[in-house]
Amino acid sequence: MAEDRSARVLEELVIELRDAFAHLHDRSYLLRHPLTRYMRGQMTGETIQAADELRRLLLQSLDELRPGEQTPASDPAWRPYNVIHRRYVLGEEATRIERELTLGTRQVQREQRRGLELIATALLERERLAVSAPEVEQASALARELSRLPHSRVVVDGREQWERALAATRALAESYGVRLAEATGAGDLSLLGDPALLRQLFVLALSFAVKLMPRGWVAVSFAQEGEQVLCRLCASPGAAAAPPSPGPELPSRLVALAEAQRAAVAMSAAGGRVELALSLPAAPRESTVAIVEDNQDVVDLFMRYLKGRGYRLLPVMDATRALESIRELAPDAVILDVMMREVDGWEVLQRLKADVTLRRLPVIVCSVLSEPELAASLGAAASLVKPVRPTQLVECLDGLLR
């Protein structure tokens, strides 16, 4: 039985290592990776440093896999190191690795697997990762589930998601004899994130707080702090309740959900009370964007792209009156088509930049014609080539306005 458990731990760690190596140069991805939370002592510094620590551990572990200089280059002992180094550190294509190492596709896969197993075994034997069998299995399952879900970044009614989470955990609170106080400051809770992830984050946080303080009570407050909304859950012992055991730890699944929501979670304890603080991204103020476009289908498409993203699209269908319309609408930015009938986008752009009151307005040239240098020379802030994907449009606007 113990051997089966050890084999499962090793298998799960190999899977996580392969995924981490595949995103070796993506700090934001590594920051949310399950292995980051298993770094010994990684929470002593800034959270962002954990991703760099994981990258260093991966590179150091790979370097330890490298045979000594006395080993001939033709020795098969080099294969696991060479395959992983070329693929993940140098970013070479599989076909090039096969050609350079004169190995077949299956041989390359076997050598990669063997190298990852050696690294995983070394990490576990030297206790470089603070992991246990249940932790690895649960974290791996949660990571796969989170990667399966299509994460969206939309404006979310935080109050609605909070009420739904409250309904889901009320029975649990009653079973623990915990009283849930009415939330304060939960009026207009406009958050930016994924509704499903936010709701599950609230459910998990409430569940954790309830279990911390049997026969006690949990108070909740919300407060806007700059670009964040701070949600505080304060668990206090009741008259007949015993305070929680010292040193409660944050569940790794709660941290994983918070990171997937681009939120931060922290915990403090004092005077028998435990406070759980969730720092959530607040929805930005709604920005207005004028779109100079004579194709109604494109306007409708972009409206769907920007729905719930904190942008209001204002169509300008007549290019001959573009300046007058933009001046009346007073938008925060302009999306400008080029191929229009009577006045093309290049002319409109020149007129905008020549106008004293409008010249500072950021303009995104959006056309089937890919001429970013021409657009920039005329004063455009950015260029997009049609067809435009939703993420391209949102990221471009976010970069200019947020």
pLDDT in tens, 76-94: 889 999 999 999 999 888 8
Of 55-69, 114-128, 209-223, give the lowest mean pLDDT range.
114-128
Is the model's pLDDT at 30 over the cut of 70? yes
Q: Domains in the chain and their CATH numbers?
A: 2-148 (no CATH), 154-281 (3.30.565.10), 287-401 (3.40.50.2300)
Cβ atoms of 158 and 192 within 8 Å: the answer is: no
User: What pLDDT does 40 receive?
Assistant: 45
* pLDDT tens-place string over residues 50-69: 778 888 889 999 999 998 88
pLDDT value at residue 167? 94
CA within 13 Å, CB half, 54 = 30
Q: Which amino acid is at 133?
A: A
pLDDT computed for residue 25 by the predictor: 85
Q: What percent of the chain has pLDDT over 70?
A: 85
Q: What is the DSSP letter of 35?
A: H
Please give the model's pTM, rounded to 2 decimal places.
Answer: 0.53
Q: Which one, of 155, 158, 225, lies nearest residue 186 by Cα? A: 158
What Cα–Cα distance (Å) separates residue 77 from each residue in 70, 114, 118, 365? 12, 11, 12, 54
| pLDDT tens-digit series, residues 32-48 | 777 776 654 444 444 55
Is the distance from CB of 316 to CB of 292 less than 8 angstroms? yes
What the block records as the tokens of 66 is 């490298």
For range 9-17, the mean pLDDT: 79
What confidence score (pLDDT) does residue 141 get? 57
Question: What mean pLDDT do residues 17-42 have?
Answer: 75
Instruction: With a cut of 80, say whether residue 223 has pLDDT above it.
Output: yes
Q: Residue 374 pLDDT > 60, yes or no? A: yes
Q: How large is the average pLDDT for residues 161-178?
A: 93
